[in-house]
Structure 1
Amino acid sequence: MSAPQFTGILAAAVTPLTADGSAIDATGVQRQVDHIISGGIHGLVPGGSTGEFTTLTSNERKQVTELYVEAAAGRAPVVAGTAALSTAETVELSVHAEKAGACAVMIVPPFYDAPSFEELLAYFGTVSEAVGIPIMYYNIPSASGVQLTPEQLAQLARETAVTSYKDTGGDFAWLSAVQQQHAQDITTLNGWDTLTFAALASGAKAGVWGTAGVIPRLCAGLYDALAVRADLHAARELWAKIFPICRFLESHNYACGIKTGLDLVGVSAGPTRRPVLPLAPEYREELRTLLTAAGVETVDAAVAA
């Protein structure tokens, strides 16, 4: 299989919803994609945690994939989140994503009843047989209950269509072990916001980053300074602006924080789905203050709506 070599920053994209949260907002998807790509971001990853995939129906998830591929219109690769609790549904969503034009799929292991490594090999093996596009393994042990060793992750890549992994584990030593010892088997993409600087500095080729949907120019600038130009001074200056925003987002419900940020920068994506509630007013204003300190222009709520 010809695997895409992901480089740069891929935005973990939200699922825009109508004002009452009852339906997907197609216009909102186009708004997000234009904002992200015009800001210099290199790819899109809808249908993941930031996209609230656990709150969507199977048909809504297919709709989100189709809308993001259509809105991207070949300007940036789209990696569709297709994880589900059953192998059959994961296959169905993955086959659909390939037909819709996604260049790869991102899959987190089935959660709630965490599979054994043997079951995981079978799960990803079945998906691999059903599609002709690569799989990005979504490593998020806190949500999936699955903690692979670096050696197991490399084995998974050798035996299935997994070619890369998004690491949202927060264990930098683990990420480094995979990166240093198993780069020939699997490509590392950072997925833990506050470790972005460290991961890129250590050689990670790409990152999947929800914050990039809110402040794309700053995030793309960090990648350029750190990973392309190796300008440590410029990268540190950018990171000093970005890090407080990342830290804030990691301290709240992430999708809600991202959607609040989108409201504040004038590209609203609607509410999060219940049971997640809106950020309290004081936290919303705290985020506004952080964005302003980073040099990002914000708007009034009435304008954002």
Structure 2
Amino acid sequence: MKYSRHEAKDYAREHMQGIWAAALNPFNADLSLNEVGLRSNIRHWIDDLAIQGLFIAGKQGEFFSMSLEERKRNFEIAVDECGSKAGTIMSVSDQNFNTVLELAKHAENCGADYIVVHAPVLSFVQDKGEVLYQYFKALCDQLNIGIAMWSHPDSGYLMQPEECARIAELPNIVAIKYSVPREMYVRLSHMVGDKIHVSTASEDEWLDNIEELNWKLYLCSSPPYQLQTRNDRRMHDYTQLAFQGKFDEARTLRDSLNPVREAIASSRPADKPQAFGKYWQELLGQVGGPVRHPMLNLTETEKATIREAFEGCGLKL
């Protein structure tokens, strides 16, 4: 560990900044984890795209289809490849508390920078706030690593800003990935923005949140390596302009990516986000591959539609 439990907040405020991307996991044709392909992708994301941190084994990475040992191996590969060049945040999410704890301790032991834990599915619960507080407190009491909360609709509810603010007082809570309507994350930012990072996965709102909320962290989804190439780093560049306070220049550059965003939105099949992302990666020269059940792979017709949209989007390869 690079910090103690009580240093976690300060460490994250200083080091957990910039664009952090959620990694898709490449699988081989036999659906085994493609370790060589994953390493190649990570090197490209860090060395060519200047991505500053990686979110590993999350929903984009199909963690729900992976064994415990595969998830641990996923952590180890990411730490090894990122080294001192980029940060790592490991998704240790699971409904079973002991599984969360086992993965979290492995993340600590293998050198990860942070972990992220999604809000659990809660059945027959009325006072969710107290349940959630005690859940995250139990993790904080047993771990030293910095913890990011993660609230999203898949849990069946959204953590309320007041609930998040209470949890944010715990010593090693350092961030939240808050997949909620903007009004909710704006309110939380005003409540705890001096204590923890508040972020959301929407690239469309990233520039506005830098300007209006003084956000320093994009945490995180796949746009950082879907909207960019070695020769076309407009997301990185508009982010740097925004951090320098050059918002008009940043907005012009951000808006120039609209044809790419539209190509993605118009060609992405419903209910196939990971399969689409992996195929788009392949068109960009990255390593993709199939998805595992329960996710669905693309049809040849869907691939043809995506290729046509990609070829006209204007990204410089």
TM-score class, shorter: 0.7 to 0.9
Partner of 1:302: none
Partner of 2:299: 280
1:161 aligns with 2:172: yes
The partner residue of 1:27 within 33, 36, 51 is 36
1:204 aligns with 2:215: yes
Partner of 1:132: 144
1:54 aligns with 2:64: yes
Partner of 1:43: 53
Distance in 1 (alpha carbons) for counterparts of 2:42 and 2:306: 22
1:219 aligns with 2:235: yes
TM-score normalized by the length of structure 2 = 0.85
Work out whether residues 82 and 93 of structure 1, in 8 Å CA contact, stay in contact via their aligned partners in 2: yes
Partner of 1:233: 249
Work out whether residues 78 and 104 of structure 1, in 8 Å CA contact, stay in contact via their aligned partners in 2: yes
1:68 aligns with 2:78: yes
**TM-aligned CA distance change 1:247 to 1:224, over 3 Å:** farther
1:243 aligns with 2:261: yes
Deviation of 1:294 after TM superposition, in Å, equals 4.2
Letter in 1 for 2:129: F
**TM-aligned CA distance change 1:246 to 1:197, over 3 Å:** farther
Q: Which ranges in structure 1 are unaligned for 5 or more consecutive residues?
A: 299-305
**TM-aligned CA distance change 1:229 to 1:178, over 3 Å:** same
Distance in 2 (alpha carbons) for counterparts of 1:68 and 1:262: 18
Deviation larger for 76-85 or 146-155? 146-155
Letter in 1 for 2:40: R
Cα deviation, 1:185-205, whole Å, max 9, x if unaligned, reads 321122134333333332221
**TM-aligned CA distance change 1:234 to 1:198, over 3 Å:** closer
Distance in 2 (alpha carbons) for counterparts of 1:261 and 1:100: 31
Work out whether residues 60 and 221 of structure 2, in 8 Å CA contact, stay in contact via their aligned partners in 1: no
Partner of 2:97: 87
Equivalent position SS for 2:116: strand
Cα deviation, 1:172-197, whole Å, max 9, x if unaligned, reads 11111111232133211221343333
Partner of 1:301: none
Q: Which ranges in structure 2 are unaligned for 5 or more consecutive residues?
A: 1-5
Distance in 1 (alpha carbons) for counterparts of 2:51 and 2:310: 18
Deviation larger for 204-213 or 288-297? 288-297
Partner of 1:147: 158
Distance in 2 (alpha carbons) for counterparts of 1:186 and 1:265: 34
Cα deviation, 1:251-290, whole Å, max 9, x if unaligned, reads 5532222111111111123211122222234443444444
Equivalent position SS for 2:131: helix
TM-score normalized by the length of structure 1 = 0.88
Distance in 2 (alpha carbons) for counterparts of 1:290 and 1:230: 31
Distance in 1 (alpha carbons) for counterparts of 2:7 and 2:141: 15
**TM-aligned CA distance change 1:227 to 1:255, over 3 Å:** farther
Partner of 1:266: 285
- What number of residue pairs does the alignment pair up? 295
Deviation of 1:297 after TM superposition, in Å, equals 4.9
Work out whether residues 38 and 287 of structure 2, in 8 Å CA contact, stay in contact via their aligned partners in 1: no
Letter in 2 for 1:122: Q
**TM-aligned CA distance change 1:151 to 1:245, over 3 Å:** farther
**TM-aligned CA distance change 1:245 to 1:166, over 3 Å:** farther
Work out whether residues 114 and 148 of structure 2, in 8 Å CA contact, stay in contact via their aligned partners in 1: yes
Distance in 1 (alpha carbons) for counterparts of 2:279 and 2:124: 32
Partner of 1:100: 110
Cα deviation, 1:109-130, whole Å, max 9, x if unaligned, reads 1237486222211221121122
Deviation larger for 155-164 or 239-248? 239-248
Equivalent position SS for 1:88: helix
